[in-house]
Amino acid sequence: MIGRVVTVAFEGVEARRVDVEVQVSNTGGVDAAFFIVGLADKAVTESRERVRAAFLGLGLALPKRVVVNLAPADVKKEGSHYDLPIALGLMCAMGVLPADALQEWAAVGELSLDGRIAPVSGVLPAAVAANGFGLGLMCPETNGPEAAWAGEARILAPRSLIAVVNHFRGSQVMSPPKPGPMVEGEAVPDLRDVRGQESAKRALEIAAAGGHNLLFIGPPGSGKSMLAQRLPGLLPPLSAEELLQTSMVHSVAGLIAKGALTRARPFRAPHHSASMAALTGGGLKVKPGEVSLAHNGVLFLDELPEFTPQALDSLRQPLETGEVMVARANAHVRYPARVQLVAAMNPCRCGYGGLGKGHCGKAPRCQRDYGNRVSGPLLDRIDLQIEVPAVTAADLALPPPAEGTAEAAARVAKARAVQEARAEEAAASPGLYLNARLEGDRLDAAAALDEGGKALLTRAAEAGHLTARGWTRTLRLARTIADLDGSGPVRRVHVAEALIYRRTAAEMAPAF
């Protein structure tokens, strides 16, 4: 007899359908044989021991021969979430459950040795995929509130195999779980705490308004990290679509606790010792990296030149395309990675550059060598590169600024509303309305320059200060500055300010 149930295999945040077929027979040798076929990894093949122990705890004796087929056979099966569908298929094949009981269900879950169903990662994308298959999803009780966020999907969240049997026999029918709570993100420090640094605050506000990448360059203690940590407070909460996208990545990574989601934008700040795989994703089972975990949020790289050049350059493609493609010999795994990059660096290794207290005695060579650890192509993708000078005693003695995060966030929200309205008129994708993502005809229409602005930008390009990418990014930046200014056309003054922020790190370092 054969029992059948549906489960999923994860390829990035996408869940691909896998059919589990279980055949049992009481013919064969004295010892019971349990085979799992279909390109299964070690965690999947170990399912037979967990299933065997769980059935023993239920008082069920396995048939002499069990064959489990995971189809399609050419798709690699990884993870422990195959335990539950294998056990359910075996129950159907043995007659413990009705043969048609699981026709309308997909299942994911890991088994404990006593028959309890343990939580697994990736339940949210599994629920979305099951709904797309026209099926409900059976998942661990702990994962039920997470799966319930998948819109109209039917969810069944049993605690154990006994609960599954009782449900389908009608002796103890389970109710569908409710979605987990929507929680507040971590408290974001206020911009009012930063004394002085008005130019840097202005750059931070522009970056938040248009979704632009930002680099702070300055000596230790000048407030670079403080400024970066206050950026999330200027950003609006995630939209419903962005919340689902971000939560699916976090679900695959196992970062959703008790089904709780948050509309606060992700803020990831990996240590500079992070490897290329840690930043962009990879490993034996191709887990999402920091750039994907920061999807629709902020990726903060402190001490930028201290990252390995290979790790930094691996970010070049995600910053352009908004996704990461991890290539393997037998598969290509795609993760979303649309982030706002914020970075901070000292002007040289000693920290102080060539001028001022504690200046470097090896300047300017030390500054040049240190800045060269960050490649030109990566710098070309950073729209704003701003000098953050040392904070003086006079700055520290000043009273707290009159404006803080709330006032700046209000201006940012107003500028973003203008961009969203512009995108709606152009029938653009809802997720691509920010100025930092404008391209092609939409950019030409939105950032049409007056004669003075066009002449200034042309002179900058002819002087060799702008690449073709730099031209495009300057237009985007000028459009954001104009939006903050409440201006319809992009004028010369907006282009001039945008060009100031497009200076490279190498040009700015000697100022220290």
Predicted pLDDT of residue 508:
44
Predicted pLDDT of residue 355:
57
Q: Among the listed ranges 105-114, 243-252, 366-375, which one has the minimum average pLDDT value? A: 366-375
Q: What torsion do the CA atoms of 474, 476, 482, 483 make, to the nearest 10 degrees?
A: -160
pLDDT(352) > 80: no
What does the longest C-alpha to C-alpha distance in the chain come to?
Answer: 90
Query: Using 50, 70 and 90 to split pLDDT, how confident is the model at 295?
Result: very high
Share of the chain above pLDDT 70, in %: 94
| Higher-scoring residue by pLDDT: 192, 396 | 192
Task: Please give the Cα distance from 158 to 174 (Å, whole number).
Answer: 7
Predicted pLDDT of residue 415:
96
pLDDT(242) > 60: yes
pLDDT digits (tens, 9 = 90+) for 407-465: 999 999 999 999 999 988 876 666 678 999 999 889 999 999 999 999 999 998 888 77
Predicted pLDDT of residue 506:
40
CA 404 → CA 63, 188, 409, 415, distances in Å?
Answer: 70, 12, 9, 17
| Higher-scoring residue by pLDDT: 84, 362 | 84
282: left (phi over 0), alpha (psi -120 to 50) or beta: left
In one letter, which amino acid is 401?
P
Torsions phi, psi for 222 (to 5 deg): -85, -10
pLDDT digits (tens, 9 = 90+) for 60-91: 989 999 999 999 998 999 999 999 999 999 99
Q: Among the listed ranges 168-172, 212-216, 339-343, 494-498, which one has the minimum average pLDDT value? A: 168-172
Torsions phi, psi for 53 (to 5 deg): -65, -40
Quick one: DSSP state of residue 116? B
pTM over 0.75: yes
Query: Using 50, 70 and 90 to split pLDDT, how confident is the model at 300?
Result: very high
Predicted pLDDT of residue 370:
87
The dihedral sign for the CA sequence 271, 359, 400, 483 = negative
Query: DSSP readout, 192-233?
Result: GG--S-HHHHHHHHHHHHHT--EEEE--TTSSHHHHHHTSGG
| Higher-scoring residue by pLDDT: 504, 449 | 449
Quick one: DSSP state of residue 297? S
Provide the 3-class DSSP secondary structure of residue 386: strand
Residue written as token pair 């059948």: 4
Q: Which of 6, 25, 30 is nearest to 17 (CA)?
A: 6
Predicted pLDDT of residue 487:
92
Contact between 246 and 266 (Cβ < 8 Å): yes
| Higher-scoring residue by pLDDT: 465, 342 | 342
Average pLDDT over residues 359-383: 84
Q: What is the CA radius of gyration of the chain?
A: 28
Query: Using 50, 70 and 90 to split pLDDT, how confident is the model at 512?
Result: very low
Q: What torsion do the CA atoms of 488, 492, 497, 500 make, to the nearest 10 degrees?
A: 150
Contact between 32 and 65 (Cβ < 8 Å): yes
Task: Please give the Cα distance from 313 to 303 (Å, whole number).
Answer: 15
Task: Please give the Cα distance from 490 to 478 (Å, whole number).
Answer: 7
Task: Please give the Cα distance from 89 to 39 (Å, whole number).
Answer: 18
Residue written as token pair 């992700």: 266
pLDDT(134) > 60: yes
Predicted pLDDT of residue 28:
64
CA 45 → CA 42, 113, 451, distances in Å?
Answer: 5, 15, 69
Q: Which of 307, 312, 344, 383 is nearest to 216 (CA)?
A: 344
Q: Average pLDDT, whole number, for the chain? A: 91
Torsions phi, psi for 322 (to 5 deg): 80, 15
pLDDT(392) > 50: yes
**Which domains are assigned to the chain?**
2-169 (3.30.230.10), 191-511 (3.40.50.300)
398: left (phi over 0), alpha (psi -120 to 50) or beta: beta
Contact between 203 and 210 (Cβ < 8 Å): no
pLDDT(511) > 50: no
